Structure 1
Amino acid sequence: MMYHIQSINSLLQNELSAIETYQQALDKFRKQTALGEMDFLMSTFEDHKAAVFSLRGKIQQLGGTSAQDSGTWGTLAKIVMASANCMGKQTALKVLREGELTGSEEYEKALLDHELPSDIRSLIENKLLPAQQRHMRTLDQLVNAVMA
């Protein structure tokens, strides 16, 4: 049981990192972003906030204490995103996509655990992982549009 709490907390920290990174992107590009891009950034930011809420709920159900910050990965993500923001929108979008890819891989890795509680498995399979994949597809489109 403790292993599952740690595993879910790791996923939670990824989501907290995503919130911080998208917040940076929103702050940076608010004035220079097309409406569709801004809608996507806000929508994705909200998706990650919802994921944090869901994961915290699962940790509480298991009797655990949820992570309050994004940890080392979050710090690294902030540094990388700050650098990307200096280089421009396309680089920042690529960094966001890499973050989504990492999150997607972490969810897929969690699903390999055959002892993962079924409600958490269902949350990942039906909500969290599809959201990550949707975010990656949209980021690919945005990166390509910026390049065009």
Structure 2
Amino acid sequence: MPWDESKLNTLLRDEISAVETYQQALDKLRSEPEIAETAQISSICEDHRDSANKLRERIIRNGGKPTEDSGAWGTWSKMVMGGAKLIGDKAALTALRQGEENGIQDYQDALQETDLPADVRNLIQTTLLPRQQQHLNVLNRLIESP
């Protein structure tokens, strides 16, 4: 096999985990209607859902079988988000920011792989990585706001 689909499935698990984690954050924010961040968090969640779908398509197109769950990373992020929700909004936003930073690192690591299919490399460079960086900027603004 010219490429290792497990690397792409790792990225897919990250995205599935992000959707699950942002959904948890949205559930909390929706219970507090005065929270202005809900629309921005919802938009980020939808971006991660779209990114997961794009990765699934690329894995299938390149002859692989996409993972269906978030694995251990998803379990860990659910625990972190559950604890952050008890502490407060800033802690939850900080946990989300950590997830985005990890995602950026995983995409940067994937781009170092020499056997990464060209269509996946292009997707990461033009869409997925820039999205992650944009999410990080949004979360930083939300964390820094009063």
Deviation at 1:4, TM superposition (A): 2.6
Deviation at 1:31, TM superposition (A): 3.1
Deviation at 1:15, TM superposition (A): 0.2
AA aligned opposite 1:112: Q
Match of 1:97 in 2: 97
8 Å Cα contact 2:26/2:41 also seen in 1: yes
**Can you list the C-alpha shifts for 1:8-30, whole angstroms capped at 9, x where unaligned?**
00000000000000000000111
**Can you list the C-alpha shifts for 1:7-58, whole angstroms capped at 9, x where unaligned?**
0000000000000000000001113255641111110010000001100001
Give distance in 1, aligned partners of 2:2 and 2:18.
24
Counterpart of 2:69 in 1: which secondary structure?
coil
Match of 1:133 in 2: 133
Change (3 A) 1:33 1:112: farther
Gaps of 5+ in 1: none
Change (3 A) 1:101 1:111: same
Change (3 A) 1:126 1:36: farther
Give distance in 2, aligned partners of 1:50 and 1:11.
13
AA aligned opposite 2:38: M
Counterpart of 1:123 in 2: which secondary structure?
helix
Counterpart of 2:4 in 1: which secondary structure?
helix
Q: Higher helix fraction: Structure 1 or Structure 2?
A: 1
8 Å Cα contact 2:104/2:133 also seen in 1: yes
* Deviation >2 Å, runs of 4+: 1-4, 31-36
Deviation at 1:140, TM superposition (A): 0.3
TM-score (norm 2): 0.95
Give distance in 2, aligned partners of 1:7 and 1:34.
40
Give distance in 1, aligned partners of 2:132 and 2:33.
22
Give the alignment of 1:102-113 within 5 angstroms.
102-113=102-113
Match of 1:55 in 2: 55
1:37 aligned to 2:32?
A: no
1:25 aligned to 2:6?
A: no
Please tell me the root mean square deviation across aligned C-alpha atoms, in Å: 1.3
Deviation at 1:65, TM superposition (A): 1.0
TM-score (norm 1): 0.94
**Can you list the C-alpha shifts for 1:83-131, whole angstroms capped at 9, x where unaligned?**
0000000000000000000001000000011221111000000000000
Give distance in 1, aligned partners of 2:139 and 2:34.
14
8 Å Cα contact 2:3/2:115 also seen in 1: no
Deviation at 1:78, TM superposition (A): 0.3
Give distance in 2, aligned partners of 1:77 and 1:115.
29
